[in-house]
Every structure is written in C-alpha cells, then in structure tokens.
Amino acid sequence: MQFIMQSRKNIIKRILNKFFLLALSLVFLFPVLSIVINSFMSPTEVMSVYGAENAAGFQLFPSHFSLMSYYQVFLGTPQYLIKFWKSLGMVFLILAGQMVTSCMGAAAFSHYKFKGSSLWFGLLIFFTFLPVQATLVPDYWLLSQIHLADSYWALILPNIFSPLGTVLITMIYRNVPKELLEAASLDGANAKQILISVLVPCGKPGIASFFVISFADCWNMVEQPMVFLSDPRDFPLSVFLAVMNDENLSLQFACAILCLLPITLLFLFFHEELSEGITSAITK
C-alpha cells in the first residue's frame, strides 16, 4: 500500500513539474510567438494596432491573414534580403577566423609548455569577463590608424580573436589522452597534423558548442556596428531593425523572423553538441 502511495506521489510530482516547465516555457516564448503571429498581419492592421496613435495597443491574432510583409521582405524590397546575406557572410567570416585562432591557441595551451603559459592563459580567462564596451575605443583608434574604420573589416578583424573560444576549447583538449598524441608523434605526425587529425576530431563537441555560442553573439552584435560604421545603410540586420522608422512596422515583424531564423536552426541542429561540449569543458 505504501509503495502504491509513493508511486502516485511520484506521478503527481512529475505532472506538476511538467506543467510548471510548460507554463514557464510559454512565458519565455510568448514574445517570439507574438512576433510570428503579428508578422501575418496586413500593413494597415499593424499600423492600426501598433501605430503612433495606439502605441500601447496589442492584438494576439490578426483579423485577416496576410503575407504582404513577407512579400515585401523577400520580393518587393530586396534590400532587406541583401542585408540578411551580407550579415550572414560577415558572421561566417568571423567564425572561420575564430575557429582557426581558437583551435590553434587551445592546442598550444593544452598540450604544449612554454614560458609564461599559465600567465597568458590566466589573462585569457580574465579577458572573457571583459565587456565589449571596454575595447571599443582602442579598437576604433587602431582601426582608424590602419584605415579600416567605417568598413565591414572593422567588425570582422577584432572579432576573429576570441578569448572565450580559446579557453573553452583548451578545456576540451585537456581531456584528450596524452597517449593519443604520443602515438601520433611516434608515427611521424607533426604539430599541425596532430591538431587536425587528433585534437580537432576529439574536441568536435566543444568546437560545435562554441560555434553556436559565437554565432549568436556575432549575429546579435549592436555596439560595434554603431561605433565603427557611420552609414546606417551599412548596418547589419541586428542593428538595422532598431533604426527602421515607424512607417515600416509590418516589415519589422517579418525582418525579426528573418533575423531569428539562423539562430533557431543552429540550435535545433546542434543542441546536443552544445550541451555535450559545455559539459565536457567543465568536467575533467
């Protein structure tokens, strides 16, 4: 009898936990769901609900289903789609540089000893806590001196060196057994071959998790474009959404969905690698 009562309590507890998590998920997802639903409103309805005369208005479902906003984004006004692809290309250039520099730096800190390695690694950990706003002024001064300010290179070059990526992947590489590296070295592999053939495959979950985290960070950058770029037409999609005027409210909803799409797809495809990489980095 006691066993049956305990089983019932466990079932009720699981149901309550699931209900609580579902309610909490709806609270966090409600802004996204409202953007998705409102993106199917007609421009006239969006202005009537959220326009300047009714700025505090709200409507959960559209009165009439409309794809006009998506038509304007994908076909009618191609500048938004062009800006999306430019922003995506810029982010992938940054990530390509980060993957190279972080993997090489992590290999040096994890399995090679050199003078001051502990000090330099401690500084890297410190730089991971340094806010991006603290480096904007020196970055702008340096980029101005080499005549790269007011260009996409001003956003790409400073970001290809990521302290977080080096620290995270170093923790992953330290879990690789030294016997594998010694065996590869005895087979005649040099440092480059060991990195490509041993360390990178073994650290794939950590590299994938850093890729997702860094993509979200670079895709949503705001301060750097506003400081380094003077022409609002050159702003990436993340900043351009904030400077669109009130006459384009309907387009803002559709562009917001366009902005959410890459991060959502990355999380859906790499959520297992993301959790596995972070777990393996903090456990040794």
Are the C-beta atoms of residues 171 and 281 closer than 8 Å to each other? yes
- If DSSP codes are grouped into helix, strand and coil, which group holds residue 282? helix
Q: Give the pLDDT confidence score for residue 185 in this predicted structure.
A: 82
d(CA 77, CA 211) in angstroms, rounded, equals 31
d(CA 20, CA 26) in angstroms, rounded, equals 10
For 251-271, letters b (16+ CB in 10 Å) and e give bbbbbbbbbeebeeebeeebe
Lowest mean pLDDT among 32-46, 49-63, 81-95, 174-188: 49-63
DSSP string across 217-268: HHHT--HHHHHH---GGG--HHHHHHH--GGGHHHHHHHHHHHHHHHHHHHH
38-45: long-range contacts, CB 8 A cutoff, minimum separation 24: 38/62, 38/253, 39/69, 39/70, 39/253, 39/254, 39/256, 39/257, 40/65, 40/66, 40/67, 40/69, 41/66, 41/69, 41/250, 41/253, 42/66, 42/68, 42/250, 43/68, 43/69, 43/249, 43/250
Residue-level length of the chain: 284
Q: What is the pLDDT of residues 52-108, one digit of tens each?
A: 565 556 677 777 788 888 887 887 777 788 888 888 999 999 999 999 999 998 888
209 compared with 276, residue with greater pLDDT: 209
First to last CA, the chain: 44
Taking Cα atoms as reference points, which of 75, 110, 46, 84 lies closest to residue 241? 84
What is the pTM for the complete model shown?
Answer: 0.81
Q: Calculate mean pLDDT across residues 5-14.
A: 72
